[in-house]
A and B are shown apart, each in its own frame.
Chain A
Amino acid sequence: MSKYTEEDLEKELETQEYKYGFYTDIESDTFPVGLNEDVVRAISKKKNEPEWMTEWRLEAFRVWEKMEEPEWANVHYEKPKFQDIAYYSAPKKKPKLNSLDEVDPELLDTFKRLGISIDEQKKLANVAVDIVMDSVSVATTFKKTLGEKGIIFMPISEAIQEHPELVRKYLGTVVPTTDNFYAALNSAVFSDGSFCYIPKGVRCPMELSTYFRINEGGTGQFERTLVVADKGSYVSYLEGCTAPSRDENQLHAAVVELIAMDDAEIKYSTVQNWYPGNKEGKGGVYNFVTKRGLCENNAKISWTQVETGSAVTWKYPSCILKGNNSVGEFYSIAVTNNHQQADTGTKMIHLGKNTRSTIISKGISAGHSQNSYRGLVHVGARAENARNFSQCDSLLMGNACGAHTFPYIEAKNKSAQIEHEATTSKIGEDQLFYCNQRGIDTEKAIALIVNGFSKEVLNKLPMEFAVEAQKLLEISLEGSVG
């Protein structure tokens, strides 16, 4: 365990550079660094996985070994040394929990610092929280209520044990192990994550929520999430992240797969606030995520994301609109400050007839950061009457940052209607003075203007998340104007 004292913590909080930065002192057992077939096997064994799962991981590892890290994104960083990372870390004391009272008090304290006390959440928000702590889930609530409806919501490691037939049927069907470098790596070594299954015709009565945390220094985090919404079902899933401040770069390569069967709807919302590195651009999380959803007939998938953290972000939540009349949506706010780099956007793959997609992307850049939107709208030859509307707005603060838009359009069917709008604006001195004159200081004025700019996307978030997201926007832009 590295030295990280209460004092260090306080100093960090003082600087406000990373308000939610903290470190939890839960004992972990961590594998030695490095990756080879034995490590993959060991991870699988540690988790007591069935044979097929071990093989699946090994296959992915063999593919990954032959792959190159992609270079096409508009981000520059020191490549992680994949052999210097420990690929497994789990809290030693894994308590069996029937109620919250049994949760490690230190862990509960952690949640309090995050401002997301579970008790409060239970009462106020009607949220079932499955908390992923250092790769292994340690608390699951509301399981019973969900169970009555036949909804399965549990750590994926448990799902592999308890519902192997479901996991085996769907895992890797939307993001194959061979999809890309990071997805292959994730498939080989993923530690944990969440699994969710909504049975036919069931409307999930509450927002499902998972808080991911990166905790152990130098431990790469490889989350795996699989959400399956059976025919005619509905689920809204929330994912929120925060991590402790530290110097070392931390790699995060998650994979999220969504499957919306006929007439089903999945809303997937993310608030991401990982440590972005300090003012000089040192440290911070590398976030290379593969998120993709598959829509069958009349199905709908909406991705909503608020990205404020990470040193480097590489992330394109996508929709494969395979079924006729299916709908894909992408609403995104990406904030970059100081030396952060984000290359994010979406892919809308129209394959079915009468498929529709909407893309609303709001990029906010400050400091020396680089913020790129990269979006692909693909209309297949058989996708009659496909429609897409894309809007990419950039807001710049200061002169040292950059905003870039890379829209790609591939239309193989003449009936496609594709619209793209883009704007770039700056926060004006006059706007700031106007706010100042009304008694609103510049910091608050910026928060207000940024919230206004982001409103279309914030409005898509579930209420309690929207409030948190607004706070994050405010925090992440603190000190961005001198």
Chain B
Amino acid sequence: MLKIENLQASIDDKSILKGLNLEVKAGEVHAIMGPNGAGKSTLANIIAGKEDYEVTAGTIELNGEDISELAPEERAHNGVFLSFQYPVEIPGVSVTNFIKTAINETRKAKGLEDMPAKDMLKMIREKSELLEIDRKFLSRSLNEGFSGGEKKRNEIFQMAMLEPKLAILDETDSGLDIDALRIVANGVNKLKSKDNAVIVITHYQRLLDYIVPDFVHVLYDGKIVKSGDASLALELEAKGYDWIKKELV
């Protein structure tokens, strides 16, 4: 599904990713952990196509195709979804209107007609139930005045609506209360299939109790320095990152 080789990227001449390799296959869940400022969000943004970064070396392939020249919306049309660490507000645009536009623009890119309103409503009903979202919430302006947890839940609602091939969840767990965490994680699990893949970026093991990863990677100083199975997350939770840093020296 996703294959990243020797990815190097910088911003304002500051090098952030320093030769990163990652391969994610369909049906897999990968967790990426690592200290603050290691480059996790940067990686997510670059996969999604944010233009602020300068990619100086390496390749990103999605389903065997190099996507480095694609605009962010084209990557989205190809099934890339990013749940933002800090979702932005768009005043006056309701959640419903936003997701409707997103879906229909994606369909348009694929040469499809707009989704019939009836189908759209049905889907909205299903997915909001799945994530236990109050329908009233969907008529509010996108992220405006949303609590931290509401923003995150709304991200996953959008993911559920868009049914991406590759979902990257950047600290979706932070800000969620215990119940919300369970609801959101269950939602993600229900959306998982053998045809799609999920990358979860997180600082905490507790999310991984719900969304059990096939692989856990440690991103440190712009590189993946250690990979393992779910038990690695437990080890990190217990010991922190120092022992890995020491291993590196």
Interface residues of A (CB under 8 A from B): 428-431, 433-442, 444, 448-449, 451-456
Contacts and interface: CB of A to CB of B under 8 A. Distances in A.
Given A448-B93, A452-B141, A439 B106 contact: yes
A452 B88 contact: no
B54 interface: no
Given A430-B88, A452-B141, A439 B93 contact: no
Contact of A454 (B81, B87, B92, B101): B92
B50 A451 contact: no
A451 B101 CA distance: 12
Given A431-B90, A438-B76, A440-B101, 14 more contacts: A428-B88, A433-B48, A433-B51, A437-B76, A439-B77, A439-B106, A440-B73, A442-B73, A444-B101, A448-B90, A448-B98, A451-B92, A452-B92, A455-B93
Interface string B99-137: 101110110010000000000000000000000000000
Interface in B43-78: 48-52, 71-73, 76-77
B102 A434 contact: no
A434 B84 contact: yes
Contacts of A431: 88-90
Given A438-B98, A440-B101, A440-B105, A433 B90 contact: no
B88 A437 contact: no
A441 B84 contact: no
B186 to A, nearest CB: 23
Contacts of A456: 92
B91 interface: yes
Contacts of B50: 433
Interface of B: 48-52, 71-73, 76-77, 80-82, 84, 87-93, 97-99, 101-103, 105-106, 109, 141, 158, 162
Contacts of A448: 90, 93, 97-98, 101
A433 to B, nearest CB: 6
Contacts of B109: 439
Contact of A439 (B76, B91, B92): B76
Contacts of B71: 436, 441
A449 B93 CA distance: 7
A188 B72 CA distance: 58
A434 B87 contact: yes
25 contacts: A428-B88, A429-B52, A433-B48, A433-B51, A435-B102, A437-B49, A438-B76, A438-B102, A438-B105, A439-B76, A439-B77, A439-B102, A439-B106, A439-B109, A440-B102, A441-B105, A444-B105, A448-B93, A448-B97, A448-B98, A451-B93, A452-B92, A453-B91, A453-B92, A455-B92
B161 to A, nearest CB: 10
A453 B141 CA distance: 11
A454 B93 CA distance: 10
Contacts of B49: 436-437
A111 to B, nearest CB: 26
A436 B49 CA distance: 9
A452 B90 contact: yes
A439 B105 contact: yes
